[in-house]
């Protein structure tokens, strides 16, 4: 009988010794929930930027951090359920882009959230201020809506005159209203009429191009949107098919044949988000990390595409470009 209790005691002690060790081992591998409105194919470069940022902070995916990817693939109404699931799993940090950030904020006030947002993070209610974000959110503010003004001005220079410019905007994006407000104000300044083409699916994008050609729009401007970034091959192909001058929001469009782009370096934005995610994993608080605001923007012209469109590009525009693709 004594031997029986002795064996039971040793079993319990052994189990107690192993269990905390297993817990400590598990705790060394935090999980980052990557919540994104785009698609994995369209965002491969940006994911690489994010992982590089994590590495700068000392975290390597598959070694000392796990990344749980959730892709809405342009169906932004799926984000709420995805965010709720990440909260239930009690991930260590949620990394979210423009349409995902407000959804993540609504889902939790406890789990730290780091974002890349092309909306105004203060006006949009994500943070209390850029220098003092407050609460559980911080990230990278890419000044999206004000950049739409610059893009419209540049497109007006590319295609001068008074023929309307069509604006492709995703009504499902929480930044859409502010984007349109900025564009309407800018259009008033340059005395150029704009027509709005809402599109939140691949079919609606194709229809928008067909209408633009049928109504003889002079050009088209694609606003910053995660779904549009994921659909950049479709957008560039449609522009080539319909021979329509198009302004795009990031350089990745111009690199695959788009006419012109103006905007921030989105890869760098995701890298900065990764750095912040890593710093939060190390114990820093989002409220103490100011929202990162880029100061460098890239103006890229694809001269080969301009020639194919028969569109002359002035020496002044070429001189202002950060890169000319020939």
pLDDT tier at 222, thresholds 50, 70, 90: very high
Kindly state the tokens that stand for 320.
Answer: 């202002």
Q: DSSP letters of 117-128?
A: ESS-TTTTTS-S
In 10 A of CB 162, how many CB atoms? Answer: 8
What's the whole-model pTM score?
0.84
Query: Could you tell me what percent of the chain has a pLDDT over 90?
Result: 81
Q: Which residues pair with 77 in a beta bridge?
A: none
Say which residue, 30 or 123, is predicted with more confidence: 30
Alpha-helix runs per DSSP H in 57-99: 79-88
**Torsion (CA) 239, 197, 228, 82 in degrees, nearest 10:** -160
Whether residue 37 has pLDDT greater than 60: yes
User: Which residue from 88, 103, 242 is spatially nearest to 168, judged by alpha carbons?
Assistant: 242
Closest CA relative to residue 141, chosen from 123, 120, 159, 161: 120
% of the chain residues with pLDDT over 70? 91
Q: Distance (Å, rounded) from C-alpha 129 to C-alpha 139?
A: 12
pLDDT(9) > 80: no
**Residue written as tokens 């880029």?**
294
Confidence (pLDDT) at 295 = 80
Residue 143 has pLDDT above 50, yes or no: yes
Decide if pLDDT at 13 tops 50.
Answer: no
Amino acid 1: pLDDT: 46
Q: Is the pLDDT of residue 236 over 90?
A: yes
Is the pLDDT confidence value at 273 over 80?
yes
Query: Over 90: is that where the pLDDT of 8 sits?
Result: no
Minimal CA–CA distance to 31: which of 55, 53, 64, 57?
64
What was the pLDDT predicted at 144?
Answer: 67
How confident is the model over 272-297, as a mean pLDDT?
94
Number of H helices, E strands in the chain: 13, 12
Tens-digit pLDDT profile for residues 186-213: 999 999 999 999 999 999 999 999 999 9
pLDDT at 294: 83
Length of the chain: 326
């Amino acid at each position: 009988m004594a031997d029986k209790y002795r064996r039971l005691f040793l079993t319990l002690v052994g189990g107690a010794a192993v269990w905390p060790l297993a817990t400590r081992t598990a705790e060394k591998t935090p999980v980052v929930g990557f919540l994104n409105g785009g698609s994995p194919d369209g965002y491969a470069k940006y994911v690489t930027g994010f992982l590089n940022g994590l590495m700068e902070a000392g975290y390597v995916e598959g070694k000392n951090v796990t990344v749980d990817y959730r892709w809405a693939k342009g169906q932004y109404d799926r984000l709420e359920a995805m965010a709720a699931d990440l909260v239930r799993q009690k991930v260590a940090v949620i990394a979210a882009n423009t349409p995902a950030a407000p959804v993540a904020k609504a889902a939790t006030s406890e789990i730290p959230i780091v974002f890349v947002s092309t909306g105004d993070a203060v006006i949009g209610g994500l943070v209390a201020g850029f220098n003092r974000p407050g609460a559980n959110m911080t990230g990278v503010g890419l000044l999206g809506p004000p950049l739409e003004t610059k893009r419209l001005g540049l497109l007006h220079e590319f295609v001068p005159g008074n023929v309307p410019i069509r604006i492709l905007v995703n009504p499902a994006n929480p930044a859409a209203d502010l984007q349109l407000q900025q564009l309407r104000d800018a259009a008033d300044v340059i005395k150029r009429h704009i027509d709005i083409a809402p599109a939140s699916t691949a079919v609606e994008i194709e229809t928008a191009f067909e209408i633009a050609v049928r109504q003889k729009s002079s050009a088209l401007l694609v606003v910053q949107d995660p779904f549009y970034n994921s659909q950049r091959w479709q957008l560039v192909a449609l522009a080539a098919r319909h021979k329509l001058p198009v302004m795009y929001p990031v350089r990745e469009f111009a690199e695959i044949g788009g006419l012109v782009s103006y905007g921030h370096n989105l890869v760098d934005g995701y890298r900065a988000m990764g750095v912040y995610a890593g710093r939060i994993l190390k114990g820093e608080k989002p409220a103490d990390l100011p929202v990162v605001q880029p100061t460098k923007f890239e103006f890229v012209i694809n001269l080969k595409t301009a020639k194919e469109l028969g569109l002359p590009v002035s020496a002044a525009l070429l001189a202002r470009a950060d890169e000319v693709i020939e």
